[in-house]
Amino acid sequence: MKEIKITEKAHREIKKLFSVRQKVNTLKSDPELTAIFDNFAFDETLEAAEGLVEEKTRVMCILASCMGCNALTEFRMYVGAALNVGVKPREIREIVYQAVPFLGFSRVLCFLMAMNEVFDDNDIRLPLDDQATTTDDTCHEEGAKMIDALWGKGNAENMFETSPKGQEHIVKYMIEYCFGRFYTRKGIDLQHRELITFCMLAGLGGCDDRLRTHAIGCRNTNISKAEMVAAVTAMLPWIGFPRSLTALNVINDAYNERLM
C-alpha cells in the first residue's frame, strides 16, 4: 500500500533513520494515523528543531525520553536509528546506564536487553569496554565534585546539612551511587549526560522538582534555552503534549532565574 499524504521530507527522514521500520509500521492497518504522525514527527517538529541541536543529539534525546515513558518498541527502533546517524555504541550504552539511578533497574532491564539484542543484530561485539572512572574509595569525593560542578560549590555538603534526620543515608547514596558511579563515567560528556537525564525525566513525568533541578543543571553546563526547547520539540511526538508542556514550563522557569 502506498504511503499517501506523507511528505517527501518525512519519507527521507524515515528512510535515513529506520532501516527496519517496516517491521512495526502501522501503515497497512492504520494508514491515516501513520500519515498524521509521520508528517508531524519527521517533518513539522523536525523543521522546528533543526539547526538548534545536532542530529545525533536529537536522536539521543528521543532515545532517552522513550526510556522515561517506558516505550520499549520505539526505544528499540531508536537504538537502530542512533547507530544509523553515527551515535557510537558506547554512547548508546551510556544513555541506558545513566537511566539506572533515575528510572530504577526494574524498568531499565528490559531496555538493556533490547539494546544488546540490537547490538548483536548489528554485529557489535559485547561486552563493550568499561567506562567507569571511580572506585569504592573515590566515588564519594568524585560524586560530590560532580554535584558541585553542576549546581555550584558547596551543594553536595549542603545536601547533608538540609537532609531530614534519619534520611542522611539517601543523600550518601545520591552522591556516591547516582553521581559518583554514573555521572563520572566516560563515554559521553557531562553536557550530554545532563541533557539526557532531563529528557528521561521529561518522558517519565510526575517529578517536576527533579526536572527543574536538571533543567538548571543543563543551563549550568551552557546548554542554551533555545537548545532545550528544540530538544523538547523533538521529543514531543513520543512523550505527548502534557509532559512536553510541563518540560517547557520548567525550562522557562529555570532559564529566567539567576545562574547558580
pLDDT digits (tens, 9 = 90+) for 4-60: 588 999 989 999 998 766 555 566 788 889 899 999 999 999 999 988 999 999 999
Q: Does a structural domain hold residue 11?
A: no
Please tell me the predicted confidence (pLDDT) of residue 19: 72
Q: What is the pTM of this model?
A: 0.94
Q: Is residue 10 part of a domain?
A: no
The answer to whether residue 246 is domain-embedded is yes
**Residue 160 domain-assigned (yes or no):** yes
Same domain, 94 and 109: yes
Task: Give the integer Cα–Cα distance in Å for 76 and 113.
Answer: 10
If asked whether residues 113 and 207 sit together in one domain, one would say: yes
Q: Are residues 114 and 58 in the same domain?
A: yes
Q: In this structure, are residues 193 and 111 in contact, taking their beta carbons and an 8 Å threshold?
A: no
| Per-residue pLDDT, 42 | 96
Q: What is the predicted pLDDT for the residue at 36?
A: 93
Total number of domains in the chain: 2
Side chain identity, residue 61: C
Contacts of 84 (CB under 8 A, 6+ apart): 16, 17, 18, 19
| Residue 162 to residue 207: CA distance in whole angstroms | 20
Residues 97 and 189 in one domain: yes
State which of 114, 147, 178 marks the end of a domain: 178
- Same domain for 190 and 249, yes or no, is yes
Given a cut of 80, is residue 126 above it in pLDDT? yes
pLDDT at 23: 54
Residue-number span of the structural domain to which 241 is assigned = 51-131+185-255
* 190 neighbors 149 (Cβ within 8 angstroms): yes
Tell me, yes or no, whether 143 and 101 share the same domain: no
158-197 tens-digit pLDDT: 998 999 999 999 999 999 999 999 999 999 999 999 999 9
Do 166 and 240 belong to one domain? Answer: no
The CB density around residue 190, as the number of other CB atoms within 10 Å, is 15
Contact predicate 163/171, CB 8 Å: yes
Is the Cβ–Cβ distance between 214 and 68 less than 8 Å?
no
Instruction: Give yes or no: residues 75 and 125 share one domain.
Output: yes
Which is more confident, 259 or 44? 44
Residues 76 and 150 in one domain: no
Q: Where are the alpha helices (DSSP H) in the chain?
A: 8-17, 31-39, 45-49, 55-68, 72-84, 89-103, 105-121, 139-151, 155-161, 168-173, 190-204, 208-220, 225-239, 241-255
Rounded distance between C-alpha atoms, residue 87 and residue 83, angstroms:
5
Burial label, 79 (beta-carbon count in 10 A; 0-12, 13-18, 19+): buried
What φ, ψ does residue 5 adopt, rounded to 5°? Answer: 80, 5
CA atoms within 13 A on the CB side of 210: 16
